[in-house]
Structure 1
Amino acid sequence: MNNGSNRTVDPSCRDNPPVAMDIILKLDMFGIVLYSTLSVMAVISVLVFIEECSYIYRKVPSNKKSVIIWVNGAAPMISAMSCLGMWVPRATMFTDMFSACYFAIVVFKFLIMMLEEVGGDEAFLRRAGSHKLKISTGPCCCCCPCLPHVAITRRSLFLLKLGCFQFALLKTLFTIVSIVLWTNGNFDLSDLEITGAAIWINPFVGILTITALWPVAITFMHLRTTLRTLRIIPKYAMYQLVLILSQLQSAIINILAMNGIIACVPPFSSPARGYMMSQQLLILEMFIITLVTRLLYRRQYDPLPLDEDQMDDDENTKMVSMQKSP
């Protein structure tokens, strides 16, 4: 006899994620409605993004088209990849990694977008020539207000860009390495042994992520008042929300699943069900974010005045930073 400590475990709770056909054949009425609704949301997200691209190509200056399209595409791209992962659970690792690589590029593009909104690198340096950057900001140094302020020069601007670009480059590189190791059986997210590849790659990617978010936060804190009329604060909030939902939320759900807190429901094992819940939540969340970002970026793109004598009397107070010490 089996007692409470020796219960029979459904074999599917130990299996790999089911194939797409198994999901389709086992869907009940609620499942059909749920999957259909989420799929329609993902399709609408992509269609809204395509329509927004058409608007951007017609209305936006050429120097801003590319970066704005990249930033606008974060939520629709994650929604589309999550939809694929929902229907094909065995491809979840690939869809998640593709979404993560895309967002790594978006981090760099968001920094470039803020610079382009003030007229580009040269205009930024002219505007900020008498100011300093406050580097005691999140996610690295928000608890270190004693850090010195940094002069805004070509070198410091280059370091800000480099801090973001390294994430876009190295994240893609580590994704390729992870896929290669996975095909050889050496990469498993549930393998927390010291000899496993995931335990080394994932923390290092986390450090790269924090390092890349820091320059964006520094630049945003410096330009948030200057770009307030361009609604940079809600844009930055949407960018941060995509980061939290696609990275932190998914990581929490997957950790709960790997520890068995999310129960196994055949044909899904606990980890597979955690991944499935994460994909479904992301489709809904990214659908809402797609609609909000469309409202934020659909505007007239009139250039800001480039010279100090063209600004209003209060424009000089809009740079949120410390004046150079005498």
Structure 2
Amino acid sequence: MPDVQALVNDFVLKIKRRKIEGSQATAKHTAELLRQVVSQQRITYTNQAASLIDAVKAVGEQLIEANPVELAIGNIVRRVLHMIREENVSSAMSAVEELALGSDDDEAEHDNRMGLSAAAVAAAARSTLRAPSLQTLLEDIPDSATAPHPPSSGGDSEGKSKSAAESSSRNKKLKHDVIEAINELIQEIDTCHELISAQAVEHIHQNEVILTLGHSRTVKEFLFAANEKKRSFRVFVAEGAPRYQGHVLAKELVGKGLQTTVITDSAVFAMISRVNMVIVGAHAIMANGGVIAPVGINMVALAAQRHAVPFVVLAGSHKVIIIWLTFLMHSTNTDT
């Protein structure tokens, strides 16, 4: 089995040489690499979750440093860290439930289960009571609250052997559960375009006029899905200078039989009054609703706002990050 550091170095080299491009491909490769890290990590007896967290953090820092611009890498690292904490808290809650139902006759087992930290139980209770949301999905629970304390060293040799066996079983279950969660994340990344495209018929209606800018695979698949449902609509594609990726998208749309017209970026404001909806892709969606998108999207958004045209941004969950994007605008008055 390849060494973890060798896999990390190979992945970093591919990122720097642009052999892996695009948010979806980068996110998937990052998740697969972190799955390898978790699989090969040797968990210590005293602090199961913390050893996994430290290993994932160390690898994540190297990946983020290799390509700070690709925000999907940091997002996937945070998602995996959350999975580890969540599975550890779930394991702690299960042990507490077993403790409540267990018999008082087995003193060794009772003492072993009492080793669970109160902080882990409190964190689990808070996590259970809160409704699922973007914040609870991506927020970081402190490491100290998730790491259980080592069990009591008291008891006879039989109790110690049983305690060690149960601890080893919990360690294996923790790794297994985390790996399963990462597999689900990879599956989610793989199917993000299909899941988004499935909602196309709910947003695009008959004889509507759609405006988009540049080239986005998510937008392309979204429009294809609406066309396959026999929806007749027209698409205006702003060319997206300076790379002019709009020409690439327009050619692909025409190939599927969609009515497509390429317009210059400067013509967006003149055409927006004829448009029913603006649909664009994005590099990342921030926690406060801000969007990092290709050049020209801000102009399109302002035009849509001016004419009260619905503005739809399509992006997979791997592009949703917890960073808050704020723009500070300074104005100065200078006397001349």
TM range (shorter): under 0.3
Structure ID, larger Rg? 2
Structure number with greater CO (CA < 8 Å, separation at least 6) is 1
TM-score, length-normalised on structure 1? 0.25
TM-score, length-normalised on structure 2? 0.25
**Larger helix proportion of the pair:** 1
**Larger strand proportion of the pair:** 2
